[in-house]
Structure 1
Amino acid sequence: MSVPPVVSQDHAALLASTDPKLAANKRLVYDMYRIVLQAGLADRAHEYIADGYIQHNPNAGQGLQGLVDYVRATRPERPILEVLDLPLVHLMAEGDYVTTTFVRPEKDANGETYYSSWFDLYRIEDGKIIEHWDPMLKSDPKIDPNDRKL
């Protein structure tokens, strides 16, 4: 039996930092995820994503427009929630980088649920997200991660 990782119940604590720059970077990524990726509001991506955005997910295009196109192709628009409702394990920042970790429930060949972890790394420059990494493979289908809740 697969045991899910423990998810955070206190997002405010994850967003807190004694360093104002780190707190701002974490808030930028958190709000981008909440508004653009969770709510699917691709038209607001420019508020968080730089024009020269470098995308390391091989299934999404480069630049701000590449992210906008990917969001539009993979999820509907939803209401904006005050907190992420995806199972967030941790949010951490160091320098110009912010990492998110989510629980991702999946089904095995027998239809049994197991749990994996999904990591995203973002680089911030001049108050916007300029670069992104995740473990997506070309062979992975385009998904809406909002369908992967506990």
Structure 2
Amino acid sequence: MKLKLLAPVLLLSLTAMGVSAVETLQTEEQTAQVKKVKSKSARSEAIAVRFYNKIFNERADIERTAKRFMKEDYIQHNAFVGTGRENFINGIGNLLASNPDMKFEIKHVVTDGDLVVLFVHMHVPGSGEPGEAIMEMLRIEDGKIAEHWDVQQPIPASIPHDNGMF
């Protein structure tokens, strides 16, 4: 925390002295220190969001991406998909192949240590259908997705307030 507060003061002081702030502050040692400071929550969130976007929005190779981001013994809590990485690859592969225009917009991310919750709008643009609201919860272990829970709710055509679903 102190580094964040001191950095602007240091930059102004160095600039006033004619010292290049970029050269001064971007040493390899300082870069390594910044990487160490990154919290467990921030690392978990980065893994979850990158994985989700690669699979569902970029439509990256599912098998290769799953092997990179998921533990082989990945635990699944969805009632319609078997546990394990191979079941994810097959189940999600079929879903995406059957719905090539489907989009998954991450609306909110909440992270606590190794748990990441993604609040997602799943829909097909231009279909006239509002889609579904999904909450995905992923547990990260040793830099990989180890466990998954989700709940889905169809978005009704009209709702009794003006707050929206997201």
Shorter chain as denominator, the TM-score bin is 0.5 to 0.7
What is the alpha-carbon root mean square deviation over aligned residues? 2.7
**Counterpart of 1:103 in 2: which secondary structure?**
strand
Structure number with larger C-alpha Rg: 2
How far apart are the structure 2 equivalents of 1:114 and 1:91? 21
CA 1:94–1:103: 2 relative to 1, 3 Å: same
How far apart are the structure 2 equivalents of 1:112 and 1:28? 32
How far apart are the structure 1 equivalents of 2:135 and 2:117? 7
The residue aligned with 2:143 is: 127
**Code of the aligned partner of 2:119:** T
CA 1:116–1:86: 2 relative to 1, 3 Å: closer
The answer to whether structure 1 residue 41 and structure 2 residue 41 are counterparts is no
Q: Relative contact order (alpha carbons < 8 A, sep ≥ 6): 1 or 2 greater?
A: 1
Q: Which of 134, 151, 166 is 1:118 aligned to?
A: 134
What's the offset of the Cα at 1:131?
0.5
Q: Which of 56, 60, 80 is 2:77 aligned to?
A: 56
The residue aligned with 2:42 is: 23
- On the 8 A contact 2:138/2:149 being kept in 1, the answer is yes
How far apart are the structure 1 equivalents of 2:85 and 2:145? 10
Alpha-carbon displacement from aligned partner over 1:52-83 (angstroms, at most 9, x marks no partner)? 1011112112111111111221114xxxxxxx
Q: Which has the higher helix share?
A: 2
The residue aligned with 1:148 is: none
**Moved segments of 4+, more than 6 Å:** none
**Counterpart of 2:104 in 1: which secondary structure?**
coil
- On the 8 A contact 1:50/1:130 being kept in 2, the answer is yes
Contiguous gaps of at least 5 residues in structure 2: 1-36, 98-102, 155-166
What's the offset of the Cα at 1:95?
1.7
| Count of matched residue pairs | 109
**Code of the aligned partner of 1:88:** I
Alpha-carbon displacement from aligned partner over 1:1-40 (angstroms, at most 9, x marks no partner)? xxxxxxxxxxxxxxxxx85221111110111111123315
The residue aligned with 1:102 is: 120
Contiguous gaps of at least 5 residues in structure 1: 1-17, 77-84, 141-150
How far apart are the structure 1 equivalents of 2:93 and 2:38? 35
The residue aligned with 1:91 is: 109
How far apart are the structure 1 equivalents of 2:69 and 2:121? 24
* % identical equivalent positions: 25
Question: TM-score normalized by structure 1?
Answer: 0.62
